């Protein structure tokens, strides 16, 4: 089983997430960017995901909503640069904290039939980054990566 590594360097506004998958970059990129596939893996288990908008092109936008018995959690952003099977640069915003927009760079590294996905997130402040970490983000990321691995295995 592949491990998800989440690094939050002390005193910086950064989060780095690394996960390897037993699939090609094209397969991982497709699962990451296909609005029909995204709801099957994105978000913590126990929540349902609805894609409102998901235009993975440079300048495109996304908006999705997670729901559970406690309520709705809406996320949105803009895709600033998209290079198929290689890289995505996007903003990330939780509607509950609209002033804390982060910038994320995702890379899809070809490991010869396997793929390493590295997400580097830059928050507007250390306080903002720490609030994201304290929100339970780690649980959601780990669940999402495990669910993505299961989807890719099918």
Across the chain, mean pLDDT equals: 97
> In the predicted model, is pLDDT for residue 1 greater than 90?
no
Q: Give the pLDDT confidence of 103-120 residue by residue, as tens digits.
A: 999 999 999 999 999 999
All structural domains of the chain with their residue ranges: 4-153
Q: Give the pLDDT confidence of 52-85 residue by residue, as tens digits.
A: 999 999 999 999 999 999 999 999 999 999 999 9
In the block, residue with structure tokens 């908006």: 63
**Which CATH code for domain 4-153?**
3.30.530.20
pTM: 0.95
Distance in angstroms (rounded) separating the CA atoms of residues 25 and 31: 10
3-state secondary structure of 37: coil
């Amino acid at each position: 089983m592949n491990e998800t590594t989440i690094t939050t360097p002390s005193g910086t506004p950064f989060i780095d997430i690394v996960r390897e998958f037993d699939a090609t970059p094209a397969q991982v990129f497709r699962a990451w960017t296909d609005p029909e596939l995204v709801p099957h893996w994105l978000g913590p288990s126990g929540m349902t995901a609805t894609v409102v908008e998901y235009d993975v092109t440079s300048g495109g936008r996304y908006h999705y909503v997670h729901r559970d018995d406690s309520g709705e959690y809406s996320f949105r952003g803009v895709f600033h640069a998209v290079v198929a099977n290689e890289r995505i640069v996007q903003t990330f915003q939780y509607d509950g904290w609209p002033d804390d927009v982060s910038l994320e760079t995702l890379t899809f590294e070809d490991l010869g039939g396997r793929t390493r996905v590295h997400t580097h997130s830059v928050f507007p402040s250390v306080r903002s980054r720490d609030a994201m970490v304290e929100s339970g983000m780690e649980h959601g990321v780990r669940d999402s990566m495990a669910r993505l691995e299961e989807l890719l295995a099918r």
